[in-house]
Chains A and B, each alone.
Chain A
Amino acid sequence: MDGAFAVFYGILKILSGTHDIALIVANTQGSTFNPHQVSVYTLDPLFDRQVGVINDVAAAAIQAKMYMNKYDVSEEELAAVSVKNLSNAAKNPYAHRRIPGITLEEVLESKLYYDPVRELTMSPISDGACAVVLASEKKAWELTDNPVWIEGIGSSQDSYLRDRNLTKLEGLEAAAKRAYRMAGIREPFAELDVAEVSERYAHEELMIYEALGFCEEGRGGALMDSCATYLDDQLPVNPSGGALSADPITATGLIRIVEAVMQVRGEANRNQVSGAQLALAHGQTGICAQSNIVYILRGEA
């Protein structure tokens, strides 16, 4: 599972009172193997693996087509996600894929894999590692003046490919609702300062906007068009560049948590969202984002 889920396990142990400090580590060296080939093994061996043509990229491509068809979303709107995230990544020293000055044309002309998924609208295969230290409230104050509190957590697993409503990330919606309720958030788009989400494919980010309640169902493309999720606008999403800029598979979600924490601590360097205090971090696992986890983080300022 994604490293973001490991944080959940650490939290459980600390909240149980049996542990005070937890170290969470996630790493993948994607360059030593082909993760898309391995993802085939997470399919049902009796049917979908027998059919032989589906892998995680093809399945994501089909989901993209279904979503674009239902809500009349264009390829340009998808490409705009890549432009936003990869431009943000150009200023992030940790990012893998940095293309300063990237244009819509460049994205739309990049190599086509499974229609409509292109080289630049899917995440790269990255090497990366990430670690966080969690502590109980008491220990946190002993160790630092600048703790970042986890105010809400929510997680949910969706049905398998065959039986899901693929035009909507229902599992993520349920997970987000749980996290918002725990954190006392009523209007996420208005209240959150910044969000770091795991978008393996450009269309996933649009679907994520809807599932997180940033906009109405089907209006993800419109939200993108309004530029409200750009770095200098209402609710910056993925100021770090997101998964589209670096995807060391199991570390990706954990990196989103770290990036959100850096935003809240004011340490995000050139991509700092000014005055960020309430952040959202999201991790996913499974083909077409089947299992999702959402964290709400708050700073001390």
Chain B
Amino acid sequence: MWRNVAVIGVGQTKHGRRRDVNVAEMISEAAWRAIEDAELAPEDIDAIAIGNMQGFGGVCQAELWSGDMFGAPGKPLLRIATGGTTGGSVAQCAIYQVASGLFDVVLAIGFEKHSDSKEPGATMGLAHVGLANLFHLLECGVDMRTSFAWGGGVGAAAGVSAYQAANYMHRSGCGVEHLDMVAAKSRSNAAKNEYAHLQWPNCTPDDIANHPRYGKFAAYPLRFGHICPASDGASAIIVASEEFARSAERPAWVRGLAACADEENQMAENAQGVAVVDSSEQIQCKVAALKAYRMAGIKNPKKEIDVAEIYQPFPHQELIYSERLLLFDDGKAWIALEEGETQIDGRLPIDPSGGVLSTNAIGSSAMQRVAECALQIMGKAGEHQVPKDVKNAVAHGWGGSTNFTVVTVLGDTPRLRR
């Protein structure tokens, strides 16, 4: 049966183009910082969960040869790789390890080192995602040349995302200017986050739209300025049982979690018409959100969620997923954005850390969403701490060719009350 679990420590490396560390050091940096943040010693860790994209950065199962650098010898270790949701899945694995009653303190690490690859912008690994995206696009009638151009020019995931953006804009009535708004918000929030990659203090939508390089369209409606970077970085959290969490000042309790995959959202076998044609639908995110909120006892997410960290490597995804996380009505997220509700000092701040749009070390990104929500609840988010009382926060991740979703709800009180 469920046991109360809390996040009691968070550690991150500076994300960016890190040519000053190697993979093993990078992982160890994040792990050390999390342990120090939780005020524990390495011997207190009972188990480890770790993950990154398979084969990325030219390393396979790096945790096997670098394990000595983060205290793995002698401990049970689970490796999880689930596309873009990897970090979120690893965090959830650690949460289940404690909730199950088998372990008391678990270290969860997500990492990625894109810059060790010679291919520009993205790693070889993304080529296989590109292929998935290619098939997805082929089903929707996009010709090979255009989709290769999209894939090659901006990194593979941009392919399916451009199409997704166009669908959302058509459905909801929002314009490119709203994508500019999200991107500007992300860059300026990232400037307040010492660990983020692309930082642009006080960035405005015009800054993005009128920039000579960033303003150009990579693949309509996505400008180059709307595209996430390929960062290097690692992030780690420590989750613990109630007994250990009691010693922390203000632990971030795990109230609900869920994952859902909509395999019809991916390439269907031979495009036989069973595939979801509108990739902005993302129903699986709603399913996961409903399950997580029910577990958390949240009946009205619009009112009860105080901050959301959404996995948005592309700006329209912040809008799509905030609706699917039931924070705004269908097709209305862009109106809330216009009215400033989702700004860092707004009614419902989204991605006060800057989100994935400004920092994307894939294996680490979804973990950072959980870590950032925890920091907000613990009051440790520094310059990007939202200026309101944070009682509940939701962390989200998507992955694959938009078929995986993970949703984790954190709060300032445990799930099970005595």
* Residues on A facing B (Cβ under 8 Å): 1, 5, 8-9, 11-13, 15-18, 38, 41-46, 48, 153-161, 163, 171, 174-175, 285-287, 290-291, 293
Contact = CB atoms under 8 A, between A and B. Distances in A.
Contacts of B149: none
A159 B22 contact: no
Contacts of A48: 65
Interface in B43-66: 55, 58-61, 63-66
A12 to B, nearest CB: 4
Interface in B77-105: 77-80, 93, 96-97, 99-102
A15 B102 contact: yes
Interface residues of B, number: 33
Nearest to B23: A45
Interface in B1-24: 1-3, 22
A42 B65 contact: yes
Contacts of A46: 22
Given A17-B1, A46-B22, A157 B67 contact: yes
A170 to B, nearest CB: 8
A43 B60 CA distance: 8
Contacts of A291: 64, 77
Contacts of B101: 15
Interface of B: 1-3, 22, 55, 58-61, 63-68, 72-80, 93, 96-97, 99-102, 257, 295
A17 B72 CA distance: 28
Contacts of B1: 15-17
Contact of B76 (A42, A44, A157, A286): A157
Contact of B2 (A8, A16, A44): A16
B77 A157 contact: yes
Contacts of B79: 1, 5
B78 A9 contact: yes
A160 B96 contact: no
B75 A159 contact: no
Interface centre among B60, B72, B73, B102 (most CB of A within 10 A): B73
B102 A12 contact: yes
B65 A43 contact: yes
Given A8-B78, A157-B73, A291-B77, A13 B67 contact: no
Contacts of B58: 41, 45
Given A12-B93, A42-B61, A174 B295 contact: no
A73 B2 CA distance: 49
Nearest to B63: A157
Contacts of B55: 41
B379 to A, nearest CB: 28
Interface centre among B3, B55, B72 (most CB of A within 10 A): B72
A157 B59 contact: no
20 contacts: A1-B78, A8-B76, A9-B96, A15-B101, A17-B1, A17-B2, A17-B99, A41-B55, A41-B58, A44-B66, A45-B58, A48-B65, A156-B74, A156-B75, A157-B74, A158-B73, A159-B67, A160-B64, A160-B66, A171-B74
